[in-house]
Amino acid sequence: MMSLVPPASSAPSAPIVQSAPEIGGQPLCARNAALAALCEADPARKAAAARALYAGVLDGSVPCSATLQLDEPPELPGRPARPELVEPRKLGRRSMQSAQGRAVLLHALAHIEFNAINLALDAVWRFAGMPAAFYTDWLKVAAEEAYHFSLLSARLAEYGHAYGDFPAHDGLWDMCERTRGDVLARMALVPRTLEARGLDASPPIRARLQQAGDDASASILDVILRDEIGHVLIGNRWFRHLCDEGGLDPHVTYTRLADQYHAPKLRGPFNFEARRDAGFDEAELAELAALAGIDTDSAQTEPGARD
């Protein structure tokens, strides 16, 4: 049987897929391997599995069948007993002026990245009948989110903490559950809405870390922002692909889906430069500028995260 998950005692920096003809009694396929990784509860093993799977798809050792039908196992996703999951309102604000406050922030970011691994893996196994590039794209996202999680976990360890030490919330996975039966809604509301909010949040968080003298953590935010622009771009690409396929207007469709699935309302400030790089068109950016109470010309020159 194929093993994508290394032994618990190992944490290879460049995990390798072990070739075998089947997984879970079914023909070897990147989609059922993604489901197996999604079911993995140990964060380090999940991250290693995601990176291994993407490497296997790239080198051709792991095929991908768009037609494979998979049954959903109970209690997705696999996750550890900790952190305790609480309502977002029960999470206190974090001060960057103390090491403890920075550790709490790093833990919150690690939790976001852990959930982002799960979101990408879920898109791979759940949605049959998509083009091959769809699965490769989301496996790339899963692998990069796994890398981000590893960076944050290592940095958190330097503060004397580990993932699970602080409470967290489950908002990202909640939207995943809501859109489980609709790939168009998933593309609209997870990468283009929830993950895109990270493009806006990253610059001020980075600035606060740098002001606190934590250049090492600020540098991790640079890596994450760079990659997240690509992840949101992937979401935009597949959202528009599905709209084109269905003869749908993307702007009208997004508004309908956001209302239907009760997506969180967007609030500024917005990182217009990053959102433009991530594939939002000028009409969408103009709407965000209106929400932020600035004119379109200001949005064109709004400072970006890389300034």
pLDDT, one tens digit per residue, over 250-294 is 999 999 999 999 999 998 899 999 999 999 999 999 999 998 888
Mean pLDDT over 55-80 rounds to: 95
Beta bridge partners of 23: 26
Percent of the chain predicted with pLDDT > 70: 87
Q: Which residue matches tokens 């898109």?
A: 123
The number of beta carbons lying within 10 Å of the beta carbon of residue 66 is 14
Q: Within 159-271, where are the H helices?
A: 171-178, 183-189, 196-211, 215-246, 250-260
Q: Is 160 left (phi over 0), alpha (psi -120 to 50) or beta?
A: left
In a domain, 157, yes or no: yes
* pLDDT for 81 beyond 90: yes
In a domain, 30, yes or no: no
In a domain, 282, yes or no: yes
In a domain, 60, yes or no: no
Beta bridge partners of 27: 22
Scored b (16 or more CB within 10 A) or e, 11-28 reads: eeeebebeeeeebbeeeb
Q: Are strands 26-27 and 22-23 parallel, antiparallel or unpaired?
A: antiparallel
The number of beta carbons lying within 10 Å of the beta carbon of residue 247 is 6
* pLDDT for 180 beyond 60: yes
In a domain, 228, yes or no: yes
Looking at the structure of the chain, the number of domains it has is: 1
* pLDDT for 48 beyond 90: yes
Give the end-to-end CA distance of the chain in Å, rounded to a whole number: 49
Per-residue confidence (pLDDT) for residue 300, from 0 to 100: 61
Beta bridge partners of 44: none
CATH at residue 214:
1.20.1260
Per-residue confidence (pLDDT) for residue 78, from 0 to 100: 96
Average pLDDT along the chain: 88
Beta bridge partners of 85: 168
* pLDDT for 42 beyond 70: yes
Q: Which structural domain range is residue 287 located in?
A: 94-301
In a domain, 75, yes or no: no
In a domain, 64, yes or no: no
* pLDDT for 204 beyond 60: yes
* pLDDT for 7 beyond 70: no
pLDDT tens-digit series, residues 98-153:
999 999 999 999 999 999 999 999 999 999 999 999 999 999 999 999 999 999 99
In a domain, 179, yes or no: yes
Q: For residues 125 and 70, is the Cβ–Cβ distance under 8 A? A: yes
- Confidence class for position 1, pLDDT limits 50, 70, 90: very low
